Amino acid sequence: MVLLFLCPGVNPVGWSRELAALMPELELRIWPEVGDVTQIDAALVWQPPPGELQRLPGLRLIQCLGMGVDGLLADSTLPPVPVARMFDPGIVTQMAEYVCEAVLYHHRRLADYAALQRERRWQRLPWQDTVRRRVGILGLGEIGAHTARQVQRFGFAVAGWSRSPKVLEYVAGFYGDDTLPAFLQRTDILVCLLPLTPTTRDILGARELALLPAGACVINCARGEHLVEADLLAALDSGHLAGATLDVFRQEPLPPDHPFWTHPKIRVTPHVAGLTHPRTAAPLVVENLRRLQAGEPLLHRVDRVRGY
Amino acid sequence: MVLLFLCPGVNPVGWSRELAALMPELELRIWPEVGDVTQIDAALVWQPPPGELQRLPGLRLIQCLGMGVDGLLADSTLPPVPVARMFDPGIVTQMAEYVCEAVLYHHRRLADYAALQRERRWQRLPWQDTVRRRVGILGLGEIGAHTARQVQRFGFAVAGWSRSPKVLEYVAGFYGDDTLPAFLQRTDILVCLLPLTPTTRDILGARELALLPAGACVINCARGEHLVEADLLAALDSGHLAGATLDVFRQEPLPPDHPFWTHPKIRVTPHVAGLTHPRTAAPLVVENLRRLQAGEPLLHRVDRVRGY
């Protein structure tokens, strides 16, 4: 079994170590040193240069390094080979950490307290009971479900929205496009954890943000394309929304002249909410290689029509 | 039963409403309108002016409004009447919120990302596995135990230290003064939730802070007197410690010229980590008044020698 590591800019050392430990017989090649292209069975990819995968005639599996496959599927040169997305339990817990911090940060008005600190002002601000603060999670996949659970453990009133029904005992569930307005109207702190697909692109625009209660906050750590950036700025500047924590952007790296960098109500992080780590992610890669060898169904195989 | 509300500066409206709902027969008097002082059975107090409690000859219970009684016990005019401290389940959950936010904030380097945002720099910083990040909770009372549990649910390696042994399945326990150095040496993120007593005053000084590993962070939301402020500044400025989140201070309000306000590694909040709220706190007051009437032992009675 020959696996090509096709992830420009990603350090291969940890991957090489973890994969060798789990599957000693695996031959790992690090792009661009591809060797005999006819020998390559599978590719572990992140932002592969267009056309590179087409050069591999024996390719039977494209394993994505990240949980989001929207960028990969948008590549028109992608060969008709099965695609599996990543499922890294480490990313799931990292995302829950990021979201819980952001929810608590907005709940406890820590941006306002930071502004008071800059003015050296000792002033207590009005606060709201946690049980009355309504958090809404958009997207109830592995990440959304675990995050909702962690947020709920603080006592927040948590609801979740997804396109298809999910059974989660600890959140109020809203399912399907028809329920989105009602979900937004009851949400004080909105968290976007959706996959990016043609139907979720621009899902947070002026109309949706206007449905949030006055003083609501927005946390986006899914994809920049979920959010209409100009509409968020307008909703913050009008005073309708109180703040935002953003980890993802329509253009990454965020350009130096982008208004998000300097907006007093926006916290920017450079797409770090959840990062794939070889220690927690390599087991899935090895399992899918084993299944490929045995002719068994792949784990986390992508439905190219649905988009995730 | 007559209860005097002796809390200068605290709004009595919510207390009046909650107490009336739970105990309609209670007569509540709001200081300084004390009426016939011989009729007063109990006092609900927060920072009472020295000498005021001595004026109440029939006083049989001093119920403190806050969980910390160090200020009250330091009052040399305090009459020899049983003192009960507050136990407000709302404060316990608020404190856990505050601490979890601060632990995640330091764990995920959000102060560093805020500095990068101010420079409009898109840069990913090295990160550490949550399972390898060691959080240490000083104090395992109601607040410390619940907070340790909430922190542990994120997967951190949590240890707790207390003067007397506590059995908590989810934390590594260190008990007694002899174990404090070992506890500090294994703690990357230190959280102080101790009661303030003569033996815990100044418990975090130069010697203790030096025992923390390089790059450690300190979170104090107990009492300002636990921390030797000049020693914290020295440990931050030498580069030994990476940051601090502080909610309590030796002098409150924190004076405008205090170096904490402007220190780039220190986050200041104005003693808001846990605030007593009548909705969640009134049930204990009513229960202690009922016990007083029935001659039963008080809940959360303070041991004046131990200091909490």
Q: Over the stretch B82-112, which tens digit does the pLDDT of each residue have?
A: 999 999 999 999 999 999 999 999 999 999 9
CB contact under 8 A, B267 and A117: yes
Please judge whether A150 and B155 are an interchain contact, meaning their C-beta atoms are less than 8 angstroms apart: no
Q: For residue range A94-112, list pLDDT tens digits in order.
A: 999 999 999 999 999 999 9
Average pLDDT of the residues of chain B: 95
At residue A174 the predicted structure's pLDDT band, cuts being 50, 70 and 90, is very high
Cβ <8 Å between B270 and A122:
yes
Q: Tokens at residue B96, please?
A: 């856990």
**Which chain B residues are closer than 8 Å to A279 by Cβ?**
129
Q: In 3D, which of B106, B103, B304 has the Cα closest to residue B192?
A: B103
Quick one: pLDDT band at residue B119, thresholds 50, 70, 90?
Answer: very high
The pLDDT assigned to B88 comes to 92
Continuous segment of H or E residues that includes residue B160:
strand B157-162
Check residue A308 and give its pLDDT. Answer: 82
Residues of B in contact with A110 (CB under 8 A): 101, 267, 269
Average pLDDT estimate for B119-147: 94
CB contact under 8 A, A253 and B98: no
Shortest distance between the Cα of B71 and any Cα of chain A, in A, equals: 20
The dihedral sign for the CA sequence A68, A74, A76, A82: positive
Residue B255: pLDDT over 90: yes
The mean pLDDT value for A210-217 works out to 98
Q: Which amino acid is at B166?
A: K
Mean pLDDT in residue range A53-69: 94
* B127 or A229, which is more confident: A229
Catalytic hit among A271, A277, A291, A301? A271
Q: β-pairing, B2-6 with B42-45? A: parallel
Banded pLDDT at A170 (limits 50, 70, 90): confident
pLDDT, residue A40, reads 98
Say what the pLDDT of residue B282 is. Answer: 96
Q: Which residues of B touch A127 (CB under 8 A)?
A: 272, 275
Asked whether residue A244 carries a pLDDT value surpassing 90, the answer given is yes
Q: Which residue of B has its CA nearest to A256?
A: B120
B197 φ/ψ angles, rounded to the nearest 5 degrees: -135, 170
Residues of B in contact with A150 (CB under 8 A): 153-154
Asked if A268 reaches chain B (Cβ–Cβ under 8 Å), the answer is yes
Which token pair is B164? 């007397």
pLDDT-derived band of residue B128, with 50, 70 and 90 as boundaries? confident
Give the DSSP H/E element, type plus range, for residue B71: helix B70-73
Smallest Cβ–Cβ distance between B97 and the set A90, A94, A130 belongs to A130
Q: Of B234 and A277, which is predicted with more confidence?
A: B234
Residue B45, pLDDT score: 97
**Sorting pLDDT into bands at 50, 70 and 90, what band is B9?**
confident
Average pLDDT over residues B202-229: 98
Choose among A97, A155, A270: nearest Cβ to B93: A155
Edge-to-edge, what's the strand order for the sheet holding A189-192?
Answer: A172-175, A157-162, A134-138, A189-192, A216-220, A241-246, A266-268
Residue A150 confidence (pLDDT): 97
B178 and B162 in contact (C-beta within 8 Å)?
Answer: no
Confidence band for A166, pLDDT divided at 50, 70 and 90: confident
- For residue A305, the model assigns a pLDDT of 86
Name residues 85-104 of chain B within 8 A of A (Cβ): 90, 93-94, 96-98, 100-101, 104
pLDDT of residue A58: 96
Of B117, B155, B277, Cβ closest to residue A261: B117
CB contacts of A116 in chain B (<8 Å) are 270
pLDDT above 90 coverage of chain A, percent: 91
Give the closest residue to A164 by CA, choosing from A175, A172, A173.
Answer: A175
Q: Which of A107, A117, A270 sits opposite B124 (nearest CB)?
A: A270
How far is Cα B62 from Cα B46, in angstroms, rounded to an integer?
A: 10
* Cβ <8 Å between B268 and A113: yes
- Structure tokens that stand for B213 in this block: 């590993």
Label residue B51 by pLDDT band (50, 70, 90). very high
User: First CA to last CA across chain B, in angstroms?
Assistant: 26
Q: Binning pLDDT at 50, 70 and 90, where does residue A62 land? A: very high
**Residue B226 CB burial class (10 angstroms; 0-12, 13-18, ≥19):** buried
Predicted pLDDT at B290: 97
- CA–CA distance, B246 with B163 (Å, rounded to integer): 23
